[in-house]
């Protein structure tokens, strides 16, 4: 084991406390009355409604005095078309009984009163389910993940549906309730794009570790086929085993679309991305659409948005991206949590307290070998009374009886700055004492917190609202090595989210699913 490389990576690790976020109460509005036309309508037995065990459905039919409502052909046709074509939004038509409803419609003129009532209830129940899925997703992230901290999305489907029904504006309801964010729109476009690709039957690429320009390798035939399939390689190609310049440029385009180092070297990461089939990429897009429905439908005026698998942070103000930063995120074992919050405080010259895991796995073994180990790291030991403990008097049999605090400074594990925001996971944005890691392609390296490139520039940007934060003021604070905290007066929301697919300029873009969430989510969507 390399001598305590751990504190090279150690000091980057910050343990996260997991708590269950509180949910906000649901406020119910009075359900408006349904305006019925003179078309055929029948009484509905409330027992038939009760079999669905849905309070929403019950209230809907109370608004119509328990009479059928879908007598109008145009309204029925709109609902049926929506459910039958729900796959264009990444949903499954059979989740909404599209085939069964179509059969009912085919014999609408011969249905007896009981069957007509059944058809009416099924139309309402499934259309409301469809609208709810479009607005806030099919699944509940709080039941899937214990490290996701998102505000609950409340959806009063009856009010929205009945008002559209009464005003004959059903055709606008689907567009109005879906997320307004640009990434969501790009995902819908990505689904359109991938559906234009033919079925792919290209063999998997195997046995490749590294191919560089002008190499000869039999795997290049299938590599070229895949590049042609995804339109990264254009025109005709002889499909030879030689890695020529044209293929080299195509590989770089493919790598750039997938967030890989676009160096033209065909390695394990590039092969893994090439081996994704059309069907698997489509599933990935659908999983990301579901995820984006969990997020707020509209974003704040000013915000930080972090895409965890893309290792990126964008500062957006008044719909304009003002700063872009590379970031480092948590490993697959110590994941960066998904959070919606707001920025609160900038702390310059922060201290760092060694968390329990690092204490147990790294610090204690090192201290047993060398009592001066912590002193070299500028870490002071304190007892329960807050008194400084000499390393030689440290009790190695009771290491948890102490606090271990690293003093502020350039080499502090948190670097020179951290940004705090309310959350249940004890995570924050911060600098690092290993500032050369931002050039790496894979930056899943922390214990949950997000490390930011060039953090002092970021701090100045968000603090300098009235011109009171010139660079020399920050330089003076840093030089003092005193811990100082400053409230962020400008309102910034924080969106620390996870997405691995989108589109841009009619091109499909993907990122490695570093926490292996996509395939599992898709499987749950189709359960």
What does each C-alpha distance from 507 to 63, 179, 503 come to in angstroms? 47, 21, 5
Catalytic residue among 133, 424, 449, 461: 449
Catalytic residue among 133, 258, 425, 430: 430
List alpha helices for 230-377, DSSP H: 245-257, 268-274, 278-294, 356-358, 364-369, 373-376
What does each C-alpha distance from 292 to 275, 276, 283 come to in angstroms? 26, 22, 14
Say how far apart CA 65 and CA 92 lie, in whole Å: 32
449 belongs to the catalytic site:
yes
Of 284, 269, 285, give the one whose Cα is nearest residue 205: 269
Q: In the 8-state DSSP scheme, what is residue 514?
A: T
> 184, exposed or middle or buried, with CB in 10 Å at 0-12, 13-18, 19+?
buried
Of 439, 466, 500, 427, give the one whose Cα is nearest residue 19: 427
Beta bridge partners of 325: 313
434 belongs to the catalytic site:
no
Angle between helices 113-136 and 157-166 (to 10 degrees): 120
Say how far apart CA 214 and CA 246 lie, in whole Å: 11
3 state DSSP class of 51 = coil
Say how far apart CA 19 and CA 11 lie, in whole Å: 24
Cβ-contact 151, 340 below 8 angstroms? yes
Query: What backbone phi and psi angles, to 5 degrees, belong to 443?
Result: -120, 35
- Residues acting as catalytic residues: 430, 449
């Amino acid at each position: 084991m390399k001598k305590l490389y751990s504190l090279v990576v150690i000091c980057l690790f910050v343990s996260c406390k997991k708590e269950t976020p509180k949910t906000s109460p649901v406020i119910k509005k009075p359900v408006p009355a349904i305006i019925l036309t003179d078309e055929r309508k029948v009484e509905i037995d409330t027992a038939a409604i009760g079999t669905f065990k849905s309070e929403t459905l019950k209230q809907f039919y109370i608004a119509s005095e328990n009479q059928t409502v879908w007598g109008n052909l145009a309204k029925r046709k709109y609902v049926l078309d929506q459910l039958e074509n729900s796959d264009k939004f990444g949903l499954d038509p059979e989740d909404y009984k599209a085939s069964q409803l179509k059969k009912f419609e085919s014999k609408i003129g011969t249905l007896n009163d009981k069957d007509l009532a059944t058809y009416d209830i099924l139309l309402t129940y499934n259309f409301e389910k469809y609208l709810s899925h479009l607005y806030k997703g099919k699944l509940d992230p709080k039941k899937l993940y214990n490290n996701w901290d998102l505000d609950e999305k409340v959806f009063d489907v009856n009010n929205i549906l009945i008002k559209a029904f009464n005003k004959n504006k059903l055709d606008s309801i689907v567009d109005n309730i879906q997320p307004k964010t640009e990434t969501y729109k790009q995902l819908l476009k990505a689904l359109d794009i991938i559906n234009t690709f033919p079925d792919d039957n290209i063999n998997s690429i195997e046995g490749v570790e590294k191919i560089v320009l002008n190499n000869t390798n039999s795997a290049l035939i299938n590599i070229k086929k895949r590049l042609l399939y995804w339109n990264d390689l254009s025109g005709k190609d002889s499909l030879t085993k030689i890695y020529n310049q044209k293929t080299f440029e195509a590989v770089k385009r493919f790598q750039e679309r997938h967030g890989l180092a676009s160096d033209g070297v065909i390695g394990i990461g590039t092969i893994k991305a090439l081996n994704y089939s059309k069907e698997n990429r489509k599933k990935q897009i659908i999983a990301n659409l579901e995820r984006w429905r969990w997020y707020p439908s509209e974003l704040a005026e000013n915000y930080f948005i972090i895409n965890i698998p893309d290792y990126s942070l964008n500062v957006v103000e008044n719909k304009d991206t003002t700063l872009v930063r590379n970031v480092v995120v948590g490993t697959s074992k110590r994941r960066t949590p998904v959070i919606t919050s707001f920025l609160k405080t900038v702390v310059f010259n922060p201290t760092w307290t060694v968390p329990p895991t690092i204490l147990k796995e790294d610090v204690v073994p090192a201290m047993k070998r060398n009592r001066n180990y912590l002193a070299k790291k500028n870490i002071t030991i304190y007892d329960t009374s807050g008194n400084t403990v000499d390393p030689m008097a440290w009790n190695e049999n009771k290491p948890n009886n102490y606090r271990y605090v690293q003093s502020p400074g350039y080499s502090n594990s948190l670097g020179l700055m951290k940004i705090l925001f309310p959350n249940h996971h004890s995570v924050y944005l911060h600098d690092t004492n290993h500032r050369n890691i931002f050039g790496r392609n894979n930056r899943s390296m922390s214990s949950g917190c997000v490390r930011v490139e060039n953090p002092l520039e970021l701090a100045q940007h968000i603090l300098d609202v009235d011109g009171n934060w010139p660079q020399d003021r920050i330089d003076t604070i840093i030089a003092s090595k005193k811990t100082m905290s400053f409230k962020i007066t400008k309102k910034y929301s924080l969106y620390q989210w996870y997405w691995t697919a989108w589109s841009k300029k009619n091109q499909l873009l993907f990122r490695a699913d570093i926490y292996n969430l996509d395939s599992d989510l898709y499987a749950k969507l189709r359960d």
